[in-house]
A = this chain, B = another copy of it.
Amino acid sequence: MARRTIIPVILSGGSGTRLWPLSTAERPKQFHPLVTERSLFQDTIARAGALQDVQQPLVVCNEAHAGLVQSDLAALGVQALAVLLEPSGRNTAPAIAAAAVIAEQAFPDAFLLVLAADHAIENQAAFASAVDTAAAVAGQNYLVTFGIVPDRPETGYGYIRKGEPHGAWAQLSRFVEKPDLEMAEHYVASGEYLWNSGMFMMPAKLYLAELQAHQPEMFAAVTAAVTGSSELHGCLRLGDAFSTCPADSIDYAVMEKTRRAAVVPLDAGWSDVGSWSALRETQRQDERGNVFHGDVVASTVNRSFVHASGKRVVVAGLDNVVIVETPDTILVMAESESQNVKALRAQSERKRDSDE
């Protein structure tokens, strides 16, 4: 098989609001050690770096997080091909486009392996195998998305409907928004649907060509932003043209429009680490179903998640609770409130405003 040049593109623009109060605008979720001793961002860099045929990674992040990215990379001893700073977030299609332009300048035949900086994947071998398959499909001039093999009728994820099958991969039929439970059960039972992971493998050239064809305004703005980019503390700050770019996801802007969309299944213990309950469910639990981080003492506690950052947390006689301690806030909630964390944060911020 021909050697390929794969550039990991790490999208680090997420804000992880459902992991408040640990995840904040200043230090969002991907810069916290939530699954291993390393941050999710570092886990992602390392996961990509362990693959075959990969070059140095490209990172795309919010300008405000340049320092976090650089120190996380330095701690791993990894030199990025570039760290692209977005003057403002424009969703995934423009971010990947900027990365594609930079990657293609360095390696004209580059494949982009687009990964979110804040996901977890348990099984590296299964991941590597799916990446191999995806690279082979991308080599046939496809934009490949990874579809997670569902193990439950999750209503918190979007789904991908598979089209015409080709052995280990399929044409992409369409994207489906987060379903209700009945619909999710139908999707999972049918075997025709995968979870939308937000991860991709594709030739940089093909992505740019399809973007130019389907989103010429976006293509023009991104091209101008890269041309107008400037060095900033060892990163590459995209030019102000980036802020004029239409904001849209790669799913809608390109994948649903192109005729070259494919999907490769991934069954590797993937999680988007999207909530405190997801974090407990996807981590190694003790015999009572608990996951504890930090200095925790527990007595008769079941199916609970405790993240102690500084103080000792002593818990007793409780089931299904989430406790998260940060330097200024302690969250104590029923696990069933995990999807309401954004609202809790808003409530807390209103109180802080009115206190001031």
Contact = CB atoms under 8 A, between A and B. Distances in A.
A311 interface: yes
Nearest to A318: B334
A309 to B, nearest CB: 11
A210 B344 CA distance: 62
Chain B CB within 10 A, most for which of A300, A317, A323, A347: A317
Nearest to A334: B317
B318 A325 contact: no
Contacts of A333: 314-318
Interface string A292-325: 0001010110000000100111111110010101
A347 B297 contact: yes
Given A297-B347, A323-B332, A332-B323, A337 B314 contact: no
B316 A329 contact: no
A79 B176 CA distance: 76
A72 B332 CA distance: 33
A315 B340 CA distance: 12
A336 interface: yes
Contacts of A308: 330
Contact of A314 (B299, B317, B336, B348): B348
Interface of A: 21, 295, 297, 299-300, 308, 311-318, 321, 323, 325, 327-334, 336-337, 340, 343-344, 347-348, 351-352, 355
10 contacts: A21-B314, A297-B348, A311-B330, A312-B348, A313-B330, A313-B332, A314-B330, A315-B333, A316-B344, A318-B332
